[in-house]
């Protein structure tokens, strides 16, 4: 795996800094696997996209401020160009 595959620009203004004011107000990206069409929706409408027998897996982890410092083997050089703040 090449770590540069994960290197991309993401403007800071596109990263949510706070939760939405209303529960369910989060945005939802929906892919129609049959047509390949992608559309924006609201998480509150997720029931429209689920059918009987579907499995919904929820991720209840939380993000916390962290910084990981590493060294490259065998050169010992500093790893990564980006820092989490």
Encode pLDDT of 61-79 as tens digits.
887 888 878 777 777 666 5
Q: What was the pLDDT predicted at 38?
A: 95
Cα–chain center distance at 14: 12
pLDDT value for 61: 87
Supply the pTM of this predicted model: 0.49
pLDDT of residue 34 exceeding 80:
yes
Q: What is the mean pLDDT of the chain?
A: 82
Extended beta strands in the chain, E state: 27-31, 38-42
Cβ count within 10 A of residue 22: 9
């Amino acid at each position: 795996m090449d770590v540069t595959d994960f290197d991309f620009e993401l403007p800071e203004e596109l990263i949510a800094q706070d939760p939405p004011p209303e529960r369910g107000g989060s945005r939802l990206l929906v892919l129609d696997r049959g047509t390949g069409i992608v559309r924006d929706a609201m998480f509150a409408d997720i029931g429209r996209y689920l059918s009987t027998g579907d499995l919904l897996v929820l991720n209840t982890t939380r993000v916390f401020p962290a910084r990981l410092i590493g060294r490259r083997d065998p050169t010992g050089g500093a790893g990564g160009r980006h820092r989490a703040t």
